[in-house]
A and B are shown apart, each in its own frame.
Chain A
Amino acid sequence: MEALLANLLTGFTVAVTPTNLALCLTGCLLGTLVGVLPGLGPTATVAMLMPVTFSLEPTGALIMLAGVFYGSQYGGSTTAILVNLPGESSSVVTCLDGHAMARQGRAGAALAIAALASLFAGTVTTAAIALGGPAIASIALLFQSADYVAVIVLGLVAAIVLAHGSVAKAIAMIVLGIFLGLVGTDLTSGEQRYTFGIDALFDGVGFVPVAMGLFGLSEVMLNLEARAASGDLARLRDRLWPTRADVRQAAPATVRGTLLGIALGILPGGGSTIPSFAAYSLEKKLARDPARFGRGAVEGIAAPEAANNAGAQAGFIPMLALGLPPNAIMALMVGAMMIHGIQPGPQIIAKQPELFWGLVASMWIGNLMLVVLNLPMIGLWVRLIELPYRWLFPAIIVFCCIGVYSLKNAASEIVIMAVAGLVGYVLRKLDCEPAPLLLGLILGPMLEENFRRALSVSGGDFSVFVTRPISATLLAFSAVLLAIVLLPAVRRGREQLRE
């Protein structure tokens, strides 16, 4: 304990130097900006900043890059709540209840809850990194392909739970998402599948253009349609801050979301997407009145926001402790360290205590900065969406287009977004929710890859999924969850929720 305090003291001494504070602030501001702008992600931003960091001292460089990363997590939820635009895969779930609250004139409360839940999750995750980084990281080494299949199945079952309305439609949307995820070059054989000779499809259908089309563009279409039908959008006067009842409901959800986020965030590929879906589903299952979900339940914002922030920051654990980056952005961080001659891995804590603890301390400071920065911004954001919609929607369209284009500097991505927008409009008209499709799209390729690999390694023996303890436990848990959803009584309850 004393050693920990001494270490944290070292860390804070490093993190609060004026230079490092300024770098942290720069990173957070930039991160918030790219997070708020739909489509622009932290990965491209961090890559663009790399040359700048050549001239910085390594701790400062990492502090700034880390700031961009978690800043974008905060910013991503802002557009999800205000205009139903998930710029990051982790903010898809935040759209569900966050945007519902915004429509009820409670955008301010939704933004505040999201920011506070993220702060809590960030604080706890930072503590977890400090206390047990290496020990937690080694859990990831127990996972083999069969176990990943089980984790992914659990994530997909979670997507069924979170949908309201028809279970069959939710499952069909997941399967459709997985199918779309299979488009492109097959990893194992190198064969092209469903690309029809179009170059833009060789690497598959990207998540961001599909998400922005399915959610963002179809939302614009539906809003314009509602305007055409009833004159103007009915807007309630916004109340800026959450009520005491909101906070009471959000608090336990935040704690659960955080723990789930840490547990799932350390797995490669998991990142912050599965945690956010899983946390939302968990809250919906635990709620006394699941009918509130999808209509502006604060737990439906607090839990996934906590989970995605915890998951995102937990990604630092395997990166720092094992040198195994679980996602692209962590791979960039490894690159940034290596440019300065630092090899991340088990030795880093012993060999570079200033760097490790300085980064840990700055993560906490950065989270605090973000809340301080973002809370006063809420008023501004809320005023922004009170602008007349006929001015707002062309701007939303243009920002979407530029964001999507910037992913690969390719106009074909914008076309994919347009198609997804049309499809999203039709599907939403048929009461098919887009969220499960998106999860299928993200997890589909991972599912196929691990499924094939697990069976290839086991020689075609399907029992590998039940003989490995991790896989067996997770699959049993998924089965129970699925059974609950499919139970007739539950299904009747869900049917009644439909208008």
Chain B
Amino acid sequence: MMRLLNRDTAAGALFAAIGAGGLWAGRTLNVGSADAMGEGYVPMLMCGLLLMLGAGIFAGGLRRAAAPLPALHWRPVLAVTAAVLAFAAALEPLGVVAAILAAALCAARAVRGVSLVSVLAPAMLLAALVLGIFVWGLGLPLRVFPPWLAG
């Protein structure tokens, strides 16, 4: 039985979409000629290639039964991404200690049944480790505490 949606058709569609998107977003770039290529020559070549490869992979996925789409578990994916983004948002205005706390709290949501309070102690330990290695050991110019706390 042919399934329209499998790992090959999905991957093919993704590649083709990126290729098409690249062609569209780069439509104003100057392509030029072989002896004087513009900034668009190689990008157009690559996007066209990506579009064709994507279409080929998609067609291949239709012809033979590729592996079905795997189950996606969004909980850990979103929690990890949120942790990284929280760290990025907190680091410069609030300092590295607050950023680690924010990241740890978000990351804790990745695993069911972990209470937020229980991650505080390991997070503080991690913060101490980070201060020891990066700030004092390697002398990275990182802000440690929020400015209003440190004056």
Contacts and interface: CB of A to CB of B under 8 A. Distances in A.
Q: In the complex, A touching B, CB below 8 Å?
A: yes
Interface of A: 33-34, 37, 40, 45, 48, 166, 168-169, 171-172, 175-176, 178-179, 182, 186, 188-189, 191, 193-194, 217, 220-221, 224-225, 227-229, 390-391, 393-395, 397-402, 405-406, 409, 411-412, 414-415, 417-418, 421-422, 425-427, 429-432, 444, 447-448, 451-452, 455-456, 458-462, 498-499
A394 B56 CA distance: 40
B2 interface: no
Contacts of A228: 73, 75-76, 111-112
Interface of B: 7-8, 10-11, 14-15, 18, 22, 25-26, 29-30, 33-43, 46-47, 49-50, 53-54, 56-57, 60, 67, 69-70, 72-73, 75-77, 79-81, 83-85, 87-89, 91-92, 96, 99-100, 103-104, 107-108, 110-112, 114, 119, 122-123, 126, 129-130, 133-134, 137-142
Contacts of B111: 224, 227-228, 390
B53 A415 contact: no
A224 B29 contact: no
A398 B87 CA distance: 8
A455 B35 contact: yes
A166 B57 contact: yes
What 4 A-B pairs come out closest when comparing CB atoms? A460-B35, A224-B76, A414-B88, A186-B39
Contacts of A186: 39
Interface of B is mostly: helix
Given A48-B138, A422-B77, 18 more contacts: A33-B137, A40-B138, A169-B57, A172-B54, A178-B46, A189-B39, A191-B29, A194-B43, A224-B76, A224-B111, A394-B83, A394-B104, A395-B126, A397-B87, A397-B103, A401-B87, A430-B11, A456-B36
9 contacts: A33-B133, A220-B76, A228-B111, A390-B114, A397-B87, A398-B126, A430-B10, A431-B11, A461-B35
A432 B49 CA distance: 17
Contact of B39 (A48, A191, A498): A191
Contact of B138 (A34, A391, A394, A412): A34
B30 A394 contact: no
Given A48-B139, A168-B53, A421-B84, A411 B89 contact: yes
Contact of A402 (B26, B108, B142): B142
A415 B25 contact: no
Given A34-B138, A189-B30, A191-B30, A175 B42 contact: no
A422 B79 CA distance: 11
Nearest to B64: A495
Contacts of B67: 431, 498-499
B81 A421 contact: yes
A448 B100 CA distance: 40
Contacts of A37: 133-134
A188 B73 CA distance: 44
Contacts of A395: 126, 129
A421 B80 contact: yes
Contact of B42 (A229, A411, A451): A451
B56 to A, nearest CB: 6
Contacts of B76: 220-221, 224-225, 228
Given A414-B88, A432-B11, A179 B60 contact: no
| Residue of A34, A45, A431 with most partner-chain B CB within 10 A | A431
Contact of A224 (B80, B91, B133): B80
B110 A401 contact: no
A405 B91 CA distance: 9
A230 to B, nearest CB: 12
Contacts of A399: 130
Contacts of A499: 67
Contacts of A33: 133, 137-138
Contact of B123 (A221, A394, A412): A394
Contacts of B49: 175
